[in-house]
Amino acid sequence: MGSRFGKTMELSARLGIARELPSPGSALPLAQRYTRWLAKRHYENFTLALWLFPRRLHQHVYNVYAYCRWADDLGDEISPQGDSLELLNWWERELRNCYAGSASHAVFIALKETIEKFDIPIDPFLDLLTAFRQDQRVRRYPNWDVLMGYCRNSANPVGRITLYLCGYRDVERQHLSDATCTALQLANFWQDVSGDLEKGRIYIPLDILSSYGLTEEDLFERRFNEHYVALMRELIARTRGLFAAGLPLVEKVAPRLRVDIELFSRGGLAVLDAIEAIGYNTLRYRPTLTRATQMQFLGRVILGRLYVLLRSNKHTSVSLAGPDV
């Protein structure tokens, strides 16, 4: 047991995110300072994202991000594969210890307060680990349903945790959030086809791929043609459908969270627009959104919401569709 623990500590210490990590059993303020440092240093859009949340939630968002970031890096930044799986198993043990009241790692010392304050169940955190383990073992997806199963673990838990932080626990909002989060994940997949091929991964369902007369070899050889264009058009249409299915969530949450949800949804749709703008050739190019485009989305969403809010105030008092975040 001691040798395994020592190896785990040695492997995890390789990560760049471990550089400022406090010692096991650190005090809560020190642990919170670490998760805050990690979020602000390693996620360039955090300042913008947090502006849309009330200040009282900021530290809790840092804590959740730190958990996700550690899990992601344990899966992606450590080799060989066996070591990554061992570290993900260790991270799950730390998570279960946290829920049992015996957190020792700084991330879990900080996260424990968040879990207890908002009564967040362990399931979404475990689902994320399932997805990170799957990344180690699975490189192909035979059909759409199997890919949706992966998204249920890799994307949807983050949305559900966010809902818990904002005081929402009902199934209806969770399902709407799932549609949006899955759509965002898929938009990222179609945007990153070339990069994933370099890692030996194909997220395009193989049955859909073959229905357009394409093979894995065609993808790896970067054979861009009308068949690939038709394939991407179908995948983008399916993804737009999921964004549309999740958009009603915007009207079922408090105003400040509405801006955040609408911003992410429209940002994901803009990624799909960018794919179309380059002629669908994601085999060779990765379309991106400029900072100016991102700020335009933010401005449009906020101005639109302000207009609605002003009209509502003019005619009646504003009624929130749930807890006041």
Given this model, what pLDDT does residue 316 score?
41
Burial class from Cβ neighbours inside 10 Å (0-12, 13-18, 19+) for residue 16 reads exposed
Start-to-end Cα distance in the chain: 45
Name the nearest CA neighbour of 321 among 255, 262, 264, 265. 255
Token duo for residue 225: 């043609």
- Residue 206: partners with Cβ closer than 8 Å, 6 or more residues away: 140, 141, 142, 143, 216
Name the nearest CA neighbour of 150 among 86, 204, 71, 73. 204
Name the nearest CA neighbour of 22 among 32, 12, 14. 32
Token duo for residue 14: 């390789």
pTM: 0.86
How far apart are alpha carbons 260 and 262 in whole angstroms?
6
Secondary structure letter of residue 54 according to DSSP: -
Same fold yes or no, 1-122 and 138-313: yes
Given this model, what pLDDT does residue 325 score?
58
Given this model, what pLDDT does residue 192 score?
96
In the block, which residue shows the tokens 């096991």? Answer: 24
Given this model, what pLDDT does residue 47 score?
53
Long-range contacts (CB closer than 8 Å, 24 or more residues apart) made by 112-120: 113/28, 113/60, 113/63, 114/59, 114/60, 114/63, 114/64, 114/165, 117/60, 118/60, 118/164, 118/165, 118/167, 119/164, 120/161, 120/164, 120/165
Given this model, what pLDDT does residue 46 score?
53
Q: Does domain 138-313 have CATH number 3.40.309.10?
A: no
Torsion of CA 236, 239, 241, 246, to 10 degrees: -150
Residue 253 near residue 265 (C-beta atoms within 8 A): no
Backbone angles phi and psi of 283, in degrees to 5: -70, -30
DSSP line for 184-239 = HHHHHHHHTHHHHHHTT---S-HHHHHHTT--HHHHHTT--SHHHHHHHHHHHHHH
Counting Cα atoms < 13 Å in the Cβ hemisphere of 57 gives 22
How far apart are alpha carbons 269 and 264 in whole angstroms?
9
Given this model, what pLDDT does residue 50 score?
63
Residue 301 near residue 212 (C-beta atoms within 8 A): no
DSSP reduced 3-state for 286: coil
Where in the chain are the domains? Answer: 1-122, 138-313
CATH number given to 1-122? 1.10.600.10
Ordered per-residue pLDDT tens for the chain, 325 residues:
444 544 465 656 677 888 889 999 999 999 999 999 998 886 555 555 566 678 899 999 999 999 999 999 998 876 666 688 999 999 999 999 999 999 999 999 999 999 999 999 999 999 999 999 999 999 999 999 999 999 999 999 999 999 999 999 999 999 999 999 999 999 999 999 999 999 999 999 999 999 999 999 999 999 999 999 999 999 999 999 999 999 999 999 987 778 778 878 888 999 999 999 999 999 999 998 665 555 555 555 545 544 444 444 444 433 334 454 5
